[in-house]
Structure 1
Amino acid sequence: MKNYTNTLLILPITLCLSQCIVVDENGNIEGTGAATQVPAGQAGFSQPLSASTGQGTVTVREGGNVLSTFSTASPNVEQTRWYSEQEQIAVKSRGNHGPATVQLFDSRTGAEKGRVMAYDIKNGQPAWAASMAE
């Protein structure tokens, strides 16, 4: 009976201790186990973002996960450019004919942050749309 009682006490303690991982201030993992702890101040993207275009839409993915999908001003998406280290994306779109619109979107939420007609981009302004001027 004594061995059975000791086993009941030791088993939960062993399981709890084996699940700990310590990450030091340099991000090095100490010990082994199943849980991980990310050091404070090291939040960010885990994978590079990618953008795919459709008829009047842009979808932003992080790895296989969809972060946002948003509609463009016009149905034909001509160009996309990452801005501000992939925090934002500039998109140039136009109809079957006529002028193009350049929009700035938040990569994670899909919220529109800015809009300008491509022919109004002059002297590199606004900076986020400079490469899409006509």
Structure 2
Amino acid sequence: MAGQDAKKGYSKTFVATIGVESKEILGYYCTSASSIEFENIPQNLSKRLPKYPAPAMLIGRLAVNKLIQGQRLGERLLMHALSRAVRATSEIAIFAVRVDALDEEVKKFYLHYEFVPFEGKEFSLLLPMKTIMKSRNN
């Protein structure tokens, strides 16, 4: 599915393997352009923002092979994706990185990294670029 989306220009997929030649996938994530409707941005973040959709980078399908879950590969993949968002801001505007959690456990993973839920959408979360940039300067 990720390969088909990439061929259509819908997403880019990044894969973690043991080595360059390895065919065993340890984990992966996909990125694509997205937006966040103004009414879904939490009120504490929406002050002084224009009242139209905010540009975002979507991290989709972040997953880790069940055999190595608990070894912090998910964290490393997330940090890799956030680094891509930082690089992208030199070329395009990105207000936040967004994710759509599949369940409560996945939501807790993202909350641990300071993502905040959308207004009215329990499993959609965002991390403002300002927060990402601050964490990189500390």
TM-score in terms of structure 1 length:
0.26
Higher relative contact order (CA 8 A, sep 6+): 2
Larger radius of gyration: 1
TM-score in terms of structure 2 length:
0.26
Q: Which has the higher helix share?
A: 2
Q: Which has the higher strand share?
A: 1
